[in-house]
């Protein structure tokens, strides 16, 4: 929508860099009288927080979120939204700017350094500025509120691929997701990833990943047939996450190889007298509008660009140099992208929930 | 942005159904003093036009576009844009509503019939309403103008997969694209597709496809680091095309299987004294901002949902029925999606070209 | 919002110049299943139509509106909105371009000619381009639909001042409004205006006016406390009408001279057990949000700039010239602004009605 | 645009209530490499700050603004904007919630209490929530940045009427504006106001006011002919200020009483070879587009609704009560509206400056 805002009725504006005093989000358009708490938001923040295993950056950020506006404390201590903008703020604590000194003028391959300089002619080289993954903390905080907007909605995600290793979907078990450092729903594959990533990490290399997000309890009828398709807005927000290079809904790219008979979801009436889809190739969205089935979205995250291997690059002054990124980084940024992807899907659905209610009453 | 509008400075609003008198687009924000002509727009329209081979619907629509506003005829007959909204209109000519009578209350599997009824409680069953692929004629017309906004930009697309058959990229030849009915850049694969689709067509079945769009001559610096990433807006618009289920930039989902060393594009200074990327895994976009390299986007189109095979479904009244879609349809809607994808990419880039000029002068 | 669009959920995009083949509006976001008809829209169009008395331009435009999309004809012939964009089109019929030849390069004082050239470097001198009052036909058509969006709402306007002559509010009678060519609610003042304007017209001069629009039946709670105040959006849309130089809500500028005791509207409980305001200085809006009382807005229209008196000006080439505007023009454009103002107020309220329903359920 | 955001390319989102921990603004779209400083912003904040004379509220708020993002400190200590969102934050210090306890359920006449409850069903009665004039601190901070966006632009305001007393324009002297507590450009009238307001204050009453804002150095060509008129957006933002009931551009409502000859500004070529307007009835805007002359806007502020006189009202429970607003309030909120109006005008122009550059290069 604008440079740093998304959403139409449920609107989120984020601000802040990795090396300023703080970062945050302003959530505008949240309906009034919804109970929220900082603790509840914090739980989602902690899921994204760095430094929780050897597979994520060792940067230590408590990522404590404060609500600065838009809520009214009730006598029992709960907070109710008031319908006014909710400002969420997270202090930056662990800033080690010195780590970045030697890359001040050097364009790190795969990073936005080069494009930033071209665009703005000025760049906060201390950690990537707005391109830093720290910005995503604000998304997760906003997503925590979005989750409350649609009654009965549940949004959860899992990692389904790291490097060349995909999970075995027949072993999918949501209970496993919190039992390993990868949000992996398949315990056996988690072991494979552990070994694989240890090798990647020791080699100073990095790996890509694919995340799947599933939203259940989404009412049918959300979205619009043309330029406000629900899947379009989900795709837009997932693609807005750092390092994402691809987005799929339902069968995604695999749909290209199917025939019409294989791909279209047949319908029958369920025992409860309600329409029943016999499959969900569509990923819960037909013609841009939710069907009432679970919404299924996937996105691909490229391997972390900060690696300990020397790569050829240039400086801002046009010199050819070799660059090696020191500092603390995730060997696989895809891991921490799981709660971020969930937040984005939740925000897109919350927005369309309000929009649908607006147009259709 | 809104239900039927996209873009921020270069804004396109489309309207019209397949069975009303006409459809069209209003292009707002086009810079003044750009020379355009109806013939030029028509050339792109003709590329999308149905009925040009046995592999596209036999519906006969001349798809003649008229410019109703926003231009000033010069003495030599050329039209110059005036900076005011350009209204483009296309008459609907070949409407056979009778073809649709028997599906009035039957939800065609894979179609938006069911979700439409849930959303609006009313539905123009004569051809899908706004979900009809005819809406894309308006996109192509708008895209023809977008192409003129960015000086030196060229946007072209090709089909790279039909059903399970992918092209051999080593045989990619842009000159082949106009030599076969599939926009296929690989003559050999075109032959495979011809045989494959003849089988599909005769079986009353349908096939999916993958389209690749490449934009060259795009200035570096377009986009924004967070919620107005150039790739995000391209993804959003490609996902807004009917039947699209996946979008990729550069390596896309394949990036997940690469290591950081393999994926990041190294740089050197070119012989012309300008920065040179040694590869383009990024697809021309880093951190949401164009690098100056070709922008590479791909999207997957599901197989046409209208097939001649009987499928299980329900009616609006909750009866279980078997549905077979008669009428004239494309066995592979992906084919005609090529010029549409080009138009969407052109519009996204044009918008960011103006936005960048606005913020950065 | 954008250059040629307004509204957030009820969005209107207009296009077209006075001298192209047609002009129109696209109304996006209208709720589905609302009954409308071309005849109904036409009734409002006719109210704005030129040439109905000697006090409006003698240009003869039937201003017939056609609905091109967004409706579904029912068996009884009525049209129901489908929730998709409603395209409204009006042909331009009576174009006399020759009238404008001699002002091609001459900037008419008070007109947008000079600023247009500065802005765009190109100008459709045949009638003012987008600055032509003909664009307002599209507004009236869109307003006709807006009126149907809010159940029970009635929006009507009247002229309350022409030149120095104000109406006597104690004689306000809505039934008079259609009995004179001025939409004047005070029969006696209408006679004064008639004489005054005859003098103005014969002198080749022109007069300004003030219009008052009153919306009744507007639910309480519409608007927002900060940047989406209902009065703000009404002011914005009234100010967007050609030649408008001032906007007021309720007491307007007169409020500056009142004390707090005089201005604030006291409340009591009504006999119907509902809150009752004892006065309406606020004009139906407090803190940007509707109170349920009638919404009262006024706007001032400057005297028509096209006059038969010679005025000093310059040409596009920088020559000093004397300019006299021939052609057919309204001696008091304020008269025809009544239905336009009504349309703008209706659109603003309809938009906030949907927005409120979206955020607040 | 949205509930708490305004602007299209230069976008401002504000958040915060008078009784939360802080309030602030996020300024998005500011061009990069503009030098700003907290001190500079603070200077404008201090102009709006309460408690500087006996004619403004005795609430003591230091209103210290902090920049939390979007700038890069240079070696010499100056801050340069980076093109990313600028977060501005102001702590709330002097909160006396107890003052508000007895109006928890009582609707203060003239306040938004009643409409808030109707809209949201929940209300932060401690100081008006988002309707509090404290929100305007965030506007002034954002306006300080807007002032830097347009090179050479100067925006300044003055009070021209308090209660029934207007200034004598022949005595207008900008140097006087800082010499009295009223931003009055006419020393003699300032004395009248002082006496008048002392009476008002002692009587526990309040007075309305009219403010005039003049922007000089605004390039010609900013704005758009229809729904993005520069005057429209100025009107919209001025009307969004608390308690504003009317807005005028140039002659404003007085234009209604003029003839076309009197009102239209004639042109000649200046001695510098540039077009010269011989008057500025238009207030610097023709057809919605800036002429290059000073932009002149006025707005009317109603008398403060919080008065010490008992007024009739009702409670949230429907009881009839008498209400007297204790607490600390401005006898004439119009005084402090001067810097707020300046900020709004600066923001509107900055936005159109960037938009024009975007569309027109």
Look at residue D62 in the predicted model and tell me its pLDDT.
84
Residue C321 reports pLDDT greater than 60: yes
Q: What is the pLDDT of residues D14-42, one digit of tens each?
A: 999 988 899 999 999 999 999 999 999 99
Q: How far apart are CA B347 and CA B234, in angstroms?
A: 9
Sequence ranges of the binding site of D for FMN: 130-132, 242-243, 287, 302-306, 328
Q: How far apart are CA D1 and CA C351, in angstroms?
A: 12
Q: Does D361 touch chain B (CB under 8 A)?
A: yes
**Average of per-residue pLDDT across B79-108:** 83
Considering only residues C183 and C127, tell me which one the structure prediction assigns the higher pLDDT: C183
Look at residue A54 in the predicted model and tell me its pLDDT.
76
Interface ipTM = 0.96
Residue C1 reports pLDDT greater than 50: no
Q: How far apart are CA D78 and CA A354, in angstroms?
A: 43
Residue C143 reports pLDDT greater than 60: yes
- What mean pLDDT value characterizes chain D? 92
Q: Is the Cβ pair B355, D84 closer than 8 Å?
A: no
Q: How far apart are CA A149 and CA A151, in angstroms?
A: 6
Q: How far apart are CA A316 and CA A308, in angstroms?
A: 21
| C-alpha C278, offset from chain centre | 30
pLDDT tier, D98 (very low <50, low <70, confident <90, very high otherwise):
low
Per the CB < 8 A criterion, the answer to whether B333 and B304 are in contact is yes
Could you tell me where the DSSP H helices lie in chain A? Answer: 38-48, 113-120, 135-149, 187-202, 230-239, 260-263, 337-360
Q: What is the pLDDT of residues D208-248, one digit of tens each?
A: 999 999 999 999 999 999 999 999 999 999 999 999 999 99
Q: Is the Cβ pair C311, D258 closer than 8 Å?
A: no
Q: How far apart are CA A188 and CA A168, in angstroms?
A: 9
Q: How far apart are CA C171 and CA C62, in angstroms?
A: 34
Q: What is the pLDDT of residues A305-324, one digit of tens each?
A: 888 889 999 999 999 999 98
Query: Over pLDDT 70: what percentage of chain C?
Result: 94
Chains contacting C (3+ CB pairs below 8 angstroms): A, B, D
Residue B95 reports pLDDT greater than 70: no
pLDDT tier, A59 (very low <50, low <70, confident <90, very high otherwise):
low
3-state secondary structure of B187: helix
pLDDT tier, A1 (very low <50, low <70, confident <90, very high otherwise):
very low
**Average of per-residue pLDDT across D198-216:** 96
- Tokens for A266, please give them: 């047949």
Look at residue A96 in the predicted model and tell me its pLDDT.
59
Look at residue D124 in the predicted model and tell me its pLDDT.
81
**Average of per-residue pLDDT across D286-302:** 97
Look at residue D61 in the predicted model and tell me its pLDDT.
75
Look at residue B182 in the predicted model and tell me its pLDDT.
96
The distance of D216 to chain C (nearest Cα, Å) reads 17
Measuring CA to CA, which residue among D85, D78, D112, D81 is closest to residue D24?
D85
Give the residue on A whose Cα is nearest the Cα of D17. A69
Q: What is the pLDDT of residues C68-110, one digit of tens each?
A: 999 999 988 899 999 999 999 999 987 665 556 677 889 999 9
Residue D99 reports pLDDT greater than 70: no
Residue B329 reports pLDDT greater than 80: no
Sequence ranges of the binding site of D for NADP(+): 48, 54
Look at residue C123 in the predicted model and tell me its pLDDT.
87
- Tokens for B326, please give them: 């008669």
Q: How far apart are CA C24 and CA C138, in angstroms?
A: 5
Q: Does A280 touch chain B (CB under 8 A)?
A: no
Residue B211 phi/psi, 5° resolution? -115, 140
Look at residue C50 in the predicted model and tell me its pLDDT.
67
Q: Which of B275-284, C43-52, C205-214 has the lowest mean pLDDT?
A: C43-52
A304 is in an annotated binding site: yes
Q: How far apart are CA A18 and CA A127, in angstroms?
A: 6
Q: What is the pLDDT of residues B197-226, one digit of tens each?
A: 999 999 999 999 999 999 999 999 999 999
Residue B301 reports pLDDT greater than 70: yes
Q: Is the Cβ pair A32, C360 closer than 8 Å?
A: yes
Q: Which residues pair with C165 in a beta bridge?
A: C162
Q: Is the Cβ pair B87, C22 closer than 8 Å?
A: yes
How many of the other CB atoms lie within 10 Å of CB of B57? 19
Q: Is the Cβ pair C292, D118 closer than 8 Å?
A: yes
Look at residue A328 in the predicted model and tell me its pLDDT.
60
3-state helix, strand, coil in chain A (%, to 5): 30, 25, 45
The distance of B33 to chain D (nearest Cα, Å) reads 10
In the block, tokens 């107005």 appear at B228
SS (H, E, C) chain C: CCCCEECCCCEEEEECCCCCCEEEEEEECCCCCCEECHHHHHHHHHHHCCCCCCCCCCCCCCCCEEECCCEEECCCCCEEECCCCEEEEEECCCCCHHHHHHHCCECCCCCCHHHHHHHHCCCCCCCCHHHCCCHHHHHHHHHHHHHHHCCCCEEEEEEEEECCEECCHHHCCHHHHHCCCCCCCCHHHHHHHHHHHHHHHHCCCCECEEEEEEEECCCCCCECCCCCCHHHHHHHHHHCCCCEEEEEECCHHHHHHCEHHHHCCCEEECCCCCEEECCCCCCCEECCEECCCCEEEEEEECCCCCCCCCEEEEECCCCEEEECCCCCCCCCHHHHHHHHHHHHHHHHHHHHHHHHHHHHC
Torsion of CA D317, D319, D323, D325, to 10 degrees: -10
From chain A, the residues in CB contact with C355 under 8 A are 9, 358
Query: Over pLDDT 90: what percentage of chain A?
Result: 80
Per the CB < 8 A criterion, the answer to whether C158 and C48 are in contact is no
How many of the other CB atoms lie within 10 Å of CB of B233? 29
Q: How far apart are CA C56 and CA C336, in angstroms?
A: 8
3-state secondary structure of B99: helix
Nearest to B361 among D8, D225, D357 (CB): D357
Strand bridging mode D65-67 / D35-36: unpaired
Torsion of CA A55, A208, A246, A170, to 10 degrees: -80
Q: Which of residues 116-175 of A touch B (CB under 8 A)?
A: 116, 118-121, 128-131, 135, 161-164
pLDDT tier, B15 (very low <50, low <70, confident <90, very high otherwise):
very high
Q: How far apart are CA B37 and CA B141, in angstroms?
A: 11
pLDDT tier, B18 (very low <50, low <70, confident <90, very high otherwise):
confident
Look at residue B56 in the predicted model and tell me its pLDDT.
74
Look at residue C62 in the predicted model and tell me its pLDDT.
84
Q: How far apart are CA B222 and CA B295, in angstroms?
A: 11
In the block, tokens 């996902």 appear at B239
Residue C126 reports pLDDT greater than 90: no
């Amino acid at each position: 929508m604008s440079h740093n805002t998304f959403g139409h009725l449920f609107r989120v504006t984020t601000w802040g860099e990795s090396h300023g005093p703080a970062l945050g989000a302003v959530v505008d358009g949240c309906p009034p009288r919804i109970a929220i708490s900082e603790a509840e938001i914090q739980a989602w923040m902690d899921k994204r927080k760095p430094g929780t295993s050897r597979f994520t950056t060792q940067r230590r950020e408590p990522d404590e979120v404060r609500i600065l506006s838009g809520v009214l404390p009730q006598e029992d201590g709960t907070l109710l939204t008031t319908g006014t903008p909710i400002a969420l703020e997270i202090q930056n604590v662990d800033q080690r700017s010195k780590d970045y000194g030697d890359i001040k003028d050097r364009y790190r391959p795969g990073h936005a350094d080069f494009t930033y300089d071209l665009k703005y002619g000025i760049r906060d080289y201390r950690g990537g500025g707005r391109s830093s993954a720290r910005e995503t903390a604000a998304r997760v905080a906003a997503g925590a509120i979005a989750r409350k907007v649609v009654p009965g909605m549940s949004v959860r995600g899992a990692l389904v691929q790291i490097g060349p290793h995909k999970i075995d979907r027949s072993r999918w078990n949501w209970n496993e997701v919190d039992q390993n450092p990868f949000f992996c729903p398949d315990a056996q594959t988690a072991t494979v990833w552990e070994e694989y990533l240890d090798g990647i990490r020791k080699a100073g290399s990095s790996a890509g990943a694919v995340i799947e997000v599933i939203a259940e309890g989404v009412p049918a009828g959300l979205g619009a047939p043309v330029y406000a398709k629900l899947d379009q807005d989900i795709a837009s927000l997932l693609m807005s996450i750092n390092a994402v290079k691809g987005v799929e809904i339902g069968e995604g790219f695999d749909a290209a190889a199917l025939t019409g008979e294989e791909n279209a979801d047949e319908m029958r009436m369920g025992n409860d007298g309600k329409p029943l889809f016999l499959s969900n190739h569509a990923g819960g969205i037909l013609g841009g509008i939710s069907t009432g089935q679970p919404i299924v979205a996937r996105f691909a995250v490229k391997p972390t660009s900060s690696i300990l291997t020397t790569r050829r690059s240039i400086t801002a002054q046009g010199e050819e140099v070799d660059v090696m990124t020191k500092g603390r980084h995730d060997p696989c940024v895809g891991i921490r992208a799981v709660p971020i992807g969930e937040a984005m899907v939740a925000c897109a659905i919350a927005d369309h929930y309000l929009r649908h209610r607006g147009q259709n009453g």
